[in-house]
Structures are given as structure tokens and as C-alpha cells.
Amino acid sequence: MYEITTTSHFSSAHRLLHYDGPCENLHGHNWQVKACVRCGILNKAGIGIDFKLLKAFLKEITDNLDHTDLNVRLKDAIANPSSELLAKYVFEQLAKKLAPHSGCKVSRVEIYETPDNCAAYFKKS
């Protein structure tokens, strides 16, 4: 099994509902997203998925979130855009984009609110 990882960034605001503290107020982050994809088969060039393709898929997702209020942008998809739920959202969106292209599957998405604070989503094997 091979794992390929790429990173993207976006800036946006959110507020955490039902949070007893300052994060319940609208505030922003410069988010970093790391997406890991697993492939069991390599092509003739020895590649599971081209980094350019994986990066383009992830960028489409993060561009849609850039410079937005996540509570508004994702209101139909996520009731409360915590880092954990945002990681799951990106995971699911990336899985949809990958489905028709290769035998690769998303294995993990990490969302960094800050360089030191990360939440991840992955499916149990």
C-alpha cells in the first residue's frame, strides 16, 4: 500500500455553536489542510496518483472555503464547523472527486487551525 499526501491552505472565519468561551464569537484562521490518499496499485511510471491531480482536487475544495464565513458557506453540510467536522467535510468532498479517477482512496484529512492545533478525520479499517 502506498500513501500520497498533499497540502493546501485557506483563510476563513467560523464560530463554534454551543461553545462556552471566546470561540463562540466569529473569529478567523489561516487553515492548513493535509490530505492523504492510499493506493494499492502504481501505474507504469510508478505513480499511484499524480501529485498535480491530487493537489488540484484539494485546491478546488479549499478555494470554495477561502475568505468565507464557514457557518454560512457550509450551513447545509455542517451544522457547526468545528475543525473535526471540517476535516470530515473535506474528506468526503475529496473522496467524491477521486472516485472516478483511480483506485486511490482518501485515507486521512488533517485540518490545522494553527501550526500547533490539528484535528483529523479517517475511517476505521
pLDDT, position 125: 67
pLDDT exceeds cutoff 70 at 4: yes
pTM: 0.95
Mean pLDDT, to the nearest integer, of 105-116?
A: 96
pLDDT exceeds cutoff 90 at 62: yes
Three-class secondary structure assignment of the chain: CEEEEEEEEEEEEECCCCCCCHHHCCEEEEEEEEEEEEECCCCCCCCCCCHHHHHHHHHHHHHHHCCCEHHHHCCCCCCCCCHHHHHHHHHHHHHHHHCCCCCCEEEEEEEEEECCEEEEECCCC
pLDDT digits (tens, 9 = 90+) for 69-100: 999 999 999 989 999 999 999 999 999 999 88
Indicate the CATH number for domain 2-121. 3.30.479.10
pLDDT digits (tens, 9 = 90+) for 20-41: 999 999 999 999 999 999 999 9
